[in-house]
Amino acid sequence: MTETPTDSANEDLRGHARIRAYLKTLDNSSGVYRMLDETGAVLYVGKARSLKKRVASYAKPTGHSARIARMISETASMMFLTTGTETEALLLEQNLIKQLKPRYNVLLRDDKSFPNILMTGDHDFPQIKKHRGAKKQKGRYYGPFASAGAVNRTLNQLQKVFLLRNCSDAMFESRTRPCLLYQIKRCSAPCTGQISRADYAELVADAERFLQGRSTNVQTTLARQMEEASEALEFERAAALRDRIRALTQVQQSQGINPRGVIEADIVALHMEGGQACVQVFFIRANQNWGNRDYYPKTGSGAEAAEVLQAFLGQFYGDKEPPKLILLSHPIEDRELMEEVLAQSAGRKVEIAVPLRGEKAELVAGAARNARESLARRLAETVTQGKLLDGLAEAFDLDARPARIEVYDNSHIQGTNAVGAMIVAGPEGFVKSQYRKFNIRGEDLTPGDDFGMMKEVLTRRFQRLLKEDPDREGETWPDLLLIDGGAGQVSAVMEIMRELGVEDIPVVGVAKGIDRDAGKEEFHRPGQRPFALKHNDPVLYFVQRLRDEAHRFAIGAHRQKRAKAIGATPLDEVPGVGATRKRALLSHFGSAKAVSRAGLADLKAVEGISDAMAETIYDFFNPKG
């Protein structure tokens, strides 16, 4: 891979003439090019089979779309990276787009990992649970599911049918009698011996057959067992099997789309309207619909459908394993190349197709309809959001409609486990990918010192902004700060902002009125008298939603921190003791305190603890000298 630096000659040239000047330095190598404006900001990243031919196409003064013509006119310089193959160029292009986020590229903004169902493999009675992240735990994974909600619904229904435990191993070991789930027929209670290991293994096998798409076999087996139980006059067992069959039928009905001819596929459909795009993705696994999710990529100031969909695929599967089949609503430009890249990632063949007839075409049409309806709702919400932002600008005397609002709140219990929270909202509503939580570090803070906590949060937030974007050219600088509090809080915040040299950002404090009732909020601005909005003003409701969302996020972050602190033990600090060894020690001794008092011989007797590790643990709790 070779990089050609930006040519410093002809610096006064821009647009077609500037691009044309590079042609003499290029050959027909494949690679990636970057177009930069006069400040050095990257406008566009693209890949080419032949860099010379691709750049020559930009050097022509005519024949471009309005978007490309605009991009060319802003181009002041270019950079090039040559690659060995076009496949390498495509991979490099997608990595650079994610890293640089150029204005004229199609950008996928929401790129979260997807949850799976895990059937654990390190216990005699496997646990079934939701799993997100790296697949490090032993067991079999089924997914991906489109959302946590889709996983939870499926797990809830699977519990009704297969009666598998969802409790942790520690809870399993500590039970002396069945829990409520056993009473309501959601678990077979293996923890207290209500079911044998062999019978539980059969339930696990049935659940896995269902997750693999072989639910018909499961129903046939259950029906046969019910008939046998009835003939043997085991009416209670027959009724339990009947209930499981009914629950299984409900699972299949609730999934809606259950294609017979498509075992495993992602259905990716695009709809574009009003300069915006919606991509709807349906996950089909084991002939079952495992949910869908919509995405709203930035269209790079007006890209065509083929480019939007190709860019989406490259970024979407950049860190996810692709299925065997991807069904699209529109053809893409480099289908075979994209198949090759995805096959390298998956370690097997991946097919991309645009079906024109049959069941597959119907599936794509359904996804496209969902994309169209989702985008229509989003466009309507955007119009409403725009009116609310205009009303907010008028109410708070802002110079223009705010593009980014940051709302801050703190959460703690008498100063313990203190957390600061920041949420972000803009023209498209809440921007959850930009939410941030701040673990309060200040050791000199008085417990419950909200002013001190807010000072730490804002100082850390704006010091980072000043370091990363001192010229305020990016989209991460706020146009408005909303603070939970009154005149004193606003005054303290303004002092902090002055110290940081960013006092030009509008700050508004939102305080409850005299009766502390929602709807009687007072708004405080620096150097001005507080005021209120009319009780039925939509802007008031909008501010209440912003404040409530910040409060919700802050409380959630605090609870998470508190739960982590409660679950912490001295074992967490012992070198080499991870989750598995910690579980083994607690299971053997009953508590961390008992581990700390254990003798060396007792520690060596724990399964999974080597002699060397036993000495490490013993020395940690019994330091010499």
Task: For residues 86 and 531, give the distance between their C-alpha atoms in angstroms, rounded to a whole number.
Answer: 62
**Amino acid at site 607:** E
Which CATH number goes with the domain that contains 575? 1.10.150.20
Which whole number is the average pLDDT over 141-166? 85
Which CATH number goes with the domain that contains 446? 3.30.420.340
Query: 615 and 552: one domain?
Result: no
pLDDT at 5 over 80: no
Domain assignment of residue 539, yes or no: yes
Query: 547 and 440: one domain?
Result: yes
Query: 455 and 576: one domain?
Result: no
State which residues form the domain around 609.
570-621
Looking at the chain, the whole-number percentage of residues with pLDDT higher than 70 is 89
Domain assignment of residue 493, yes or no: yes
Q: Could you give the number of structural domains in the chain?
A: 5
Per 3-state DSSP, what percentage of the chain is helix, strand, and coil (rounded to 5)?
Answer: 45, 20, 35
Which residue, chain included where needed, has tokens 């003499």? 24
For 484-520, what is each residue's pLDDT tens digit? Answer: 888 888 988 898 889 888 888 999 999 876 554 556 7
- Domain boundary residue, one of 254, 276, 299: 254
Which whole number is the average pLDDT over 93-97? 92
Residue 571 neighbours by CB under 8 Å, 6+ apart: 577, 582, 585, 586, 592, 595
pLDDT at 234 over 80: no
Q: Other CB atoms closer than 10 Å to residue 381's CB: what's the count? A: 13
Looking at the chain, the whole-number percentage of residues with pLDDT higher than 90 is 38
Of 153 and 603, the structure prediction assigns the larger pLDDT to: 603
Query: 549 and 422: one domain?
Result: yes
In the prediction, which pLDDT does 514 show?
A: 57
> Rounded to two decimals, what is the model's pTM?
0.70
Query: 528 and 423: one domain?
Result: yes
- The residue among 328, 290, 291 whose CA lies nearest residue 312 is 328
Of 351 and 215, the structure prediction assigns the larger pLDDT to: 351
**Amino acid at site 82:** T
For 205-220, what is each residue's pLDDT tens digit? Answer: 888 888 887 665 666 7
Domain assignment of residue 397, yes or no: no
pLDDT at 110 over 70: no
Of 90 and 594, the structure prediction assigns the larger pLDDT to: 90
Domain assignment of residue 519, yes or no: yes
Query: 560 and 579: one domain?
Result: no
Query: 417 and 488: one domain?
Result: yes
pLDDT at 390 over 70: yes
Which whole number is the average pLDDT over 596-612? 87
In the prediction, which pLDDT does 622 show?
A: 79
Which whole number is the average pLDDT over 52-80? 92
Query: 121 and 223: one domain?
Result: yes
Which whole number is the average pLDDT over 245-273? 74
In the prediction, which pLDDT does 625 show?
A: 47
pLDDT-based confidence at residue 9 (cuts at 50, 70, 90): very low
Query: 560 and 574: one domain?
Result: no
Query: 285 and 231: one domain?
Result: no
Domain assignment of residue 30, yes or no: yes
pLDDT at 125 over 70: yes
Domain assignment of residue 260, yes or no: no
Domain assignment of residue 109, yes or no: no
Which whole number is the average pLDDT over 104-132? 88
Domain assignment of residue 259, yes or no: no
Token pair for residue 122? 């390190």
- Cα separation values, 151 from 115, 117, 131, 165, 321, Å: 7, 7, 9, 16, 18
- Domain boundary residue, one of 219, 254, 289: 254
In the prediction, which pLDDT does 456 show?
A: 86
- Domain boundary residue, one of 47, 69, 100: 100
Query: 355 and 299: one domain?
Result: yes
Rounded to 5 degrees, φ, ψ at 531 are -145, 170
Query: 183 and 249: one domain?
Result: yes
